[in-house]
Structure 1
Amino acid sequence: MKPILPREHGGWAMVSVPFFLGMAVEGPTWLHLPLFISWMLFYLAAYLFRLALMRRKGRRNYVRWSLSYCGLGIVFLLPPLIVRPSLLWAGPVLAGLLAVNGWYAYRRDERSFINDIVAILAFSVGGAASCLVGKGQLDDAALWVAVSCVLYFTGSVFFVKSVFRERKNANWQKASKGYHILLVVILAFREPLFVLPYAFSAVRTFVWGGKPLSPIKVGIIEIIGSVLFLILSILVFSVTRPSLI
């Protein structure tokens, strides 16, 4: 039977960018390969479980695939977990966040802003876990990776909603632009170089926010923005070791 895969561009970016950023910041190791495979499999399992909560038709098939992905994910997780047992901290954190996502899915309110932020927090855990595997412990860099990803993808949520569901909502347009202005100003005071990874995100909001765009165009914009954020974040970190504590 053909596997079921997510079609959302944003979801693939959110699940991969934090992981790759954490790997780049602390240095890649062989453990990152099985951890990444496991991370992607757990993402697929969670996606299908949410579908099972939202839809009655095909529910058994969704659950079957979800359990299959989850089982494979556990297999690939074993090597990094044996070497870095401290990875276990991520389990309860992810379980709590995914429970919230599941509740919104069950209520068929998965497009709620709060639900989006909770999902972003879950994806950013992957960045911290990637840092841990590279260095062997959680430190200031892991916190920076997680927080920076939360800030960026929160901006993405504002933007995507501003061209689709909230396109005609003036208050939402103001909130979206206000968020990016505030983000850039705060980062500029903290460390000017921090602004670079968010420059495209801010420009994107003011150029295209509130305008009718096709899903394909929005997907392309999001992919370009995510790639730029990843590259510029890596460059900034190579120049300065930011501290958020």
Structure 2
Amino acid sequence: MLLVPWLAAVLTVGLRWPHLPLLGAWLTGYLFSYYLLQAVKTRRPGRVRAQLWTYGAPTALLGGLVLLLRPELLWYAPAYAALLAVNVVHARRRTERALGNDLASVAQSCLMVFVCATVAGQPPGTVGTVFLAVAAYFIGTVLYVKTMIRERGNSTYYRASIGYHIISAALAAFLGLALLGVFLLLLVRAAVLPRHRLTPKQVGVTEILASVLLLLATTI
């Protein structure tokens, strides 16, 4: 969920050198936010102070460099702040696995598509199709993975996952034949695999393959 939006956008708008420090800040920022939320959850920031410094410093340096080059990226700050606030609330309540928290994380990830376009000096509309495809994929993945692990056997989640994948396949029909093919495969995955007992590792491997197919489809 970290690499796919960045890669999909960069493959669409073309790699610019500021995309590299952006990627570094994105990865270290994720690790920083993980330990920040752990501090909020446990209410013991001292336990993760070293990690906060370890990942916070490069995030600030690399992120500051990108902002220096593209100050217009600050327009995205309110959206990221609001979504991080959702994560903080769930961390305090110890409900990190809640659907709302997952969707907030998906939104943070997918916004990176627009961020990459802005870094390249391109308008957001340039990557509109990529954003829709990536967002549709990750929202579906949240529902699908829940039917495979934490909500296994939950008929409500299973029906919601199938219904969502049907809608996303219909959306993909308007985005291109390649994306339609990928989302039809994702629909089959969501319908068939929950009937089998896959390990979390096997579920992860199938999602890596699905991510590769999505990236290929968005570049065709």
Q: TM-score, normalised by structure 2?
A: 0.92
C-alpha distance in structure 1 between counterparts of 2:213 and 2:171, whole Å:
20
Is 2:135 the counterpart of 1:111? Answer: no
Q: Paired residue for 2:132?
A: 147
Within 1, Cα distance between the matches of 2:25 and 2:167? Answer: 36
Please state which structure has a larger fraction of its residues in helix.
2
List runs of 5+ in structure 1 lacking aligned partners: 1-13, 236-245
Aligned to 1:74: 60
Greater CA drift, 39-48 or 85-94: 85-94
Over the residues paired in the alignment, what is the CA RMSD in angstroms? 1.8
Give the superposition deviation at 1:222.
1.3
Contact 1:167 1:211 in 2 (8 A): no
**Distance in structure 1 (CA, Å) of the matches to 2:175 and 2:117:** 23
Percent identity reads 32
- Match in the other structure for 1:238: none
Residues 13 and 117 in structure 2, CA contact (< 8 A), matched pair in contact too? yes
Question: Retained in 1: the 8 A contact 2:129–2:175?
Answer: no
Partners of 2:83 and 2:178 in 1: CA distance: 31
Which residue, out of 21, 44, 54, partners 1:34? Answer: 21
Equivalenced residue count is 220
Contact map agreement 1:49 1:63 (CA 8 A) in 2: no
In the superposition, the TM-score normalised over structure 1's length comes to 0.83
Query: Which residue does the alignment assign to 2:206?
Result: 221
CA distance in 2, matches of 1:130, 1:67: 26
What does the per-residue CA deviation read over 1:76-110, in whole Å, with 9 as the maximum and x for residues that have no partner? 12332222111111222111101101111110111
Q: Give the conservation status (yes or no) of the 8 Å contact 2:179–2:214.
A: no
Q: What's the counterpart of residue 3 of structure 2?
A: 16
One-letter identity of the residue aligned with 2:83: L
Is 1:25 aligned with 2:2? no
1:162 equivalent among 147, 170, 181: 147
**1:209 match: secondary structure:** helix
Residue from 160, 166, 171 that aligns with 1:181: 166
User: 1: CA distance between counterparts of 2:68 and 2:211?
Assistant: 32
Q: Distance in 1 between matches of 2:49 and 2:134?
A: 30
